[in-house]
Structure 1
C-alpha cells in the first residue's frame, strides 16, 4: 500500500531543484535576516508592512514601517530602483507581506518576503524592538 506522502509522486530532481531554487529568489527567512544584521552585512531595506500601532508594539530591529497600503512611488522616491526590499507582516496567517511585495515589484523594485514575519522572528528566539524608525514621507496616523 502506498503512503499518503507517495500518493502523488515527487518531482524529478531537476524539476525540484529548479522549484526550490526559484523559491529562494522570492523569500528569505528570519535566521538569514538576523545573521546578516549580526554580521553587519545589511544590503537590503527591511520593511514592516503592518500598521503603525502594531509596529510600535514591537517589530524586527532595523525595520522601517511602511504600511502596505501606503506603498507608492512618492513614499519610495528616496530609494534607488536597485534597492532590495525585504518585507514582512505579522506571520504566516497574514498576507500583507505578499500585497506589499506585489506593489514593490509593480514599482520595479527587487523584493523578497521574510517568511514567518513577526511570529517566525519570535519563534527563532529573537527579540523585537520598540524604537520607532519610519521614513518621513509615511503618514503616522494610518492603521493599515
Structure 2
C-alpha cells in the first residue's frame, strides 16, 4: 500500500489492476460505449455522403424530453416501450446506440440492457443528450433545429476534435 508520510494514498489504496486485466477491462468498455463526438462525426459524414452510418441512434427518454431536444435522425423509443416495440421498428442486424439525458441518468443503460436481452447489438452513448448539446452539436426540438456554442469544459474551442 502506498503512503504519503503516514497517510494512505487514497488513489492507490486499492492497487491498479495488472496490465493484462486493465487491457481486458478497457477493451470491453469500448465494446459497450460510444463517444458523443464519435457518434456525431459518423452521423455527419453519413449525411454528407449519403452513406449508411452502420448503426441507429435511439433516444430512450420521454416524449417531453424528446420534444425539448434530440439527436437529428435518432429514433424515439422510450425505455419502457422497448419490450413491445423494438422488434417491430428496429433491425437486429443493425447495431443500436442508446442515449438518455446525460451521465447522471442510467436510462440509456437500462435501454441497452433491454435491447441486448431482445438480441440486439447495442452500445451506450457516453454523456447522453447533455454532452451532445454541450459539445456544440446541432439538435432538433419541437420548434425546429437548434444548436448552442460548445462548452469549453467539454469540447475544444479552436480545434476540430480533442485529439483523443
- Shorter-chain TM-score category? 0.7 to 0.9
Instruction: Pick one of 32, 35, 39 that aligns with 1:33.
Output: 39
Can you list the C-alpha shifts for 1:97-142, whole angstroms capped at 9, x where unaligned?
A: 111111101100101100110111122121221269xxxxxxxxxx
The 1:60–1:74 alpha-carbon spacing in structure 2 relative to 1, beyond 3 Å, is closer
Can you list the C-alpha shifts for 1:49-79, whole angstroms capped at 9, x where unaligned?
A: 0011110111111111011100125442243
The 1:59–1:123 alpha-carbon spacing in structure 2 relative to 1, beyond 3 Å, is same
1:111 aligns with 2:122: yes
C-alpha deviation, 1:90, in angstroms? 0.5
TM-score for the superposition, normalised by structure 2: 0.74
Match of 1:82 in 2: 93
**Higher mean Cα deviation, 28-37 or 75-84?**
75-84
Match of 1:22 in 2: 28
Query: Aligned partners of 2:42 and 2:68: how far apart in 1?
Result: 24
The secondary structure found in structure 1 opposite 2:98 is strand
Query: Aligned partners of 1:78 and 1:20: how far apart in 2?
Result: 32
The secondary structure found in structure 2 opposite 1:72 is helix
Moved over 3 A (4+): none
How does 1:1-144 map onto structure 2 within 5 Å? Answer: 1=4, 2-40=8-46, 42-130=53-141
**Higher mean Cα deviation, 90-99 or 67-76?**
67-76
Larger radius of gyration: 2
Structure with greater strand percent: 2
TM-score for the superposition, normalised by structure 1: 0.84
The 1:126–1:80 alpha-carbon spacing in structure 2 relative to 1, beyond 3 Å, is closer
Relative contact order higher in (CA < 8 Å, ≥ 6 apart): 1
